[in-house]
Amino acid sequence: MITAVSAEALALDRAGRRLFEDLSFHLRPGEAIALTGPNGAGKTSLLRAIAGLLRPAAGQIRFASAQGPLEADEARASALHWLGSADGLKGSRTAAAELRFWSEWTGGPPVRLSGRGGPERSGREGAGLDPVLDAFGLSSQAHTEVRRLSTGQRRRLALARLLASFRPLWLLDEPLAPLDARWRTRVGEMMHAHLDEGGLIIAAVHDTLPIGARELRLESA
Amino acid sequence: MSARRPTPLLALFLRDMQLAWAGGGGPLLAGAFYLGVAALVPLSAGPSPERLAAMAPGLAWLVLAVASLLSLERLFEPDWEDGALDLLAQGRAPLAAVAAVKAAAHWCATGAPLALLAPAAAVALGAPVRIAGPMLAAALLGGLAFAYLGAIGAALSLGARRGGLLIAVLVLPLLVPPVIFGAAAVEAAALGGPWLPSLALLAAYALLAVAAAPFAAGAGLRNALG
C-alpha cells in the first residue's frame, strides 16, 4: 500500500511550452492536495504525470510504501485511481456492467460501505457493487444504458469507480464539476472517509474542496 | 481477489465482445460490406460463369482482407477518445496485453464471422465447393494475422493524428505475406492441388503476428497517451 507520493524538482512541457518547473511536494497518508491555478497552468498535466500518462521533462515522481520505495510502474498498476475529465464510460453498456468491469480491471475488493458511517476497507468478499451504486444514488439506474444517464449521474458513476475497488491514491481532475450541492457534500464525506482510512488524494479544482486540503497553486509560466 | 472474480483480461475481452455487437455495429457492417462487394463483382466483371469461377477464390480472399482492415481502423480510437485508455493504463496488465486482448476480441467478434462468409461468397461466385474447407481455414488464420498487424497500425495512428494514410502505407507491407499465402492456398484448393503447405506458412505467419505485434501496438498506445 502506498504511504507517500512525492515530486522533486518536477518540470513539465506541453505542446513545446514549459508549464512549470522546480515543483516539489510530499504527500502522506490521510493528506490531500488541492491543485489550483488558472486554465492552462498545468493541473491536468501534473495529474497525468503522476499517473504515468505523461513523461516529465525533468525531475522525479516517487512512490513509497511502509516497507520502503515502490517501483513507480508497480505503484501505478496497483494503488492508483484515475478520474479524468473524460470518464471512459461506454454509452451502450449499463451502469452496473461498466462499474463491474472497472472494478475487475483495477482488481481490488470493493470498499465496504457501512450504514451512515464512511466507507471502510472490505475485509471479505461478497458485498458486491450494489452498495456502491446505492451510495452514489444509482440503484434504480443500475440497468440503464450509460447514454441515458444525466450528466450528474454519469459523473457519479465515474466517481463510483473509486469505491468499486480499494486503491489508496486518488488522482481527481475536477471531481465535483457537474454535481449539485447535495452530491458535493456526499462526495466530500466519501473523500473524508478515504483520508481517514489512510488514503491520499490529489485533486485539480477551481472551487474549494469540501475537505481539509493543502493548496498547491500552479501559476502560468 | 477470490477465485470467482474473472481475471481483468478476460473481463476486457468480454467487454469488447459486447461493445462490438452492441447496436449491431462493427461485425454486421463488415459483413454487409463483404456481401455487398461480392454481389457487385458479377456486375462489374461481367456475368460469364467461366470468368467468374476463375476469379472467385482470389476475389473472395481479397475482399476479406479489405473488409478486415476497414473494421480494424477504429480498434483503439473509441477508448482513446473517451478516456478509457487512460484508465486501462492503470491496471495490472501492461498495454501490450491490452492490445493483444482487444485484437483477439476483434478477431472473435468480426474476423470469425467474416471468415464464415468467405467460403459462401466464393462458392456463390462459382468456385468449386471443395474450396470451402481450405477457404474457411485460410480466412480464419488470415483474419488473425490481419487483426494483430492491423492493431499496430491502429495504435500508431492514434499518436499520429492525421497520419492515418501514412500509417496504412507503413503497415501494408506487413500484410503482403498473409495475402500471398492465403491466396496461394485457396487457388491450390480450387485447382485440386496441395493447399496445406501454403496454409502452414499462413499459420506460421499468423502466429508470429500474434506473438510480436502486441508489443509494437502496446508501445504505440503508450506513445498516444503522452
List the single residue in B78, B83, B91 with the smallest CB-CB distance to A105: B91
Chain B residues lying within 8 Å of A92, measured CB to CB: 19, 22-23
Could you tell me if B133 lies within 8 Å of chain A, comparing CB atoms?
Answer: no
Q: Which domains does chain A have, with CATH numbers?
A: 1-79+168-221 (3.40.50.300), 87-166 (no CATH)
Q: Assess if residue B3 is contained within a domain.
A: no
Higher pLDDT: B6 or A152? It is: A152
Whole-angstrom Cα distance, residue B35 to residue B196? 27
Write the CA distances from A58 to A12, A18, B2, B181, B222, integer angstroms: 7, 11, 41, 49, 19
Q: Assess if residue B1 is contained within a domain.
A: no
Cell numbers representing residue A74 in the block: 508497480
**What local confidence, expressed as pLDDT, does residue A123 receive?**
43
What is the ipTM, given to two decimal places? 0.90
Q: Assess if residue B171 is contained within a domain.
A: yes
Whole-angstrom Cα distance, residue A153 to residue A167? 22
**What local confidence, expressed as pLDDT, does residue B38 receive?**
85
Chain B residues lying within 8 Å of A162, measured CB to CB: none
A66-123 pLDDT, tens digit each: 888 888 888 898 899 999 999 999 999 999 999 999 999 998 677 877 643 444 444 4
Taking the whole predicted model, whether its pTM rises above 0.80 is answered as: yes
Shortest distance, CA A17 to any CA of chain B (angstroms):
15
Chain B residues lying within 8 Å of A125, measured CB to CB: 1-2, 4
- Total count of domains within chain B: 1
Q: Assess if residue B206 is contained within a domain.
A: yes
Q: Which residue has the cell 459483413?
A: B31
List the pLDDT tens digit at each of the 226 positions of chain B. 444 556 899 999 999 999 988 866 678 888 888 888 888 888 888 878 888 888 888 888 888 888 888 788 778 988 998 999 999 999 989 999 999 999 999 999 988 989 999 998 888 888 888 889 999 999 999 999 999 999 998 898 886 666 567 667 777 889 899 999 999 999 899 888 899 999 999 999 999 999 999 999 999 999 888 7
Q: Containing domain of residue B32, as a range?
A: 8-225
Q: To probe the interface with A, which of B86, B88, B98, B223 has the most A CB atoms within 10 Å?
A: B86
**What local confidence, expressed as pLDDT, does residue A116 receive?**
39
Q: Assess if residue B158 is contained within a domain.
A: yes
Please report which residue ranges of chain A form alpha helices under DSSP H.
43-50, 72-79, 95-106, 130-135, 151-164, 181-196
Chain B residues lying within 8 Å of A77, measured CB to CB: 90-92
Q: Assess if residue B133 is contained within a domain.
A: yes
Q: Strands A112-113, A169-173: parallel, antiparallel or unpaired by DSSP?
A: unpaired
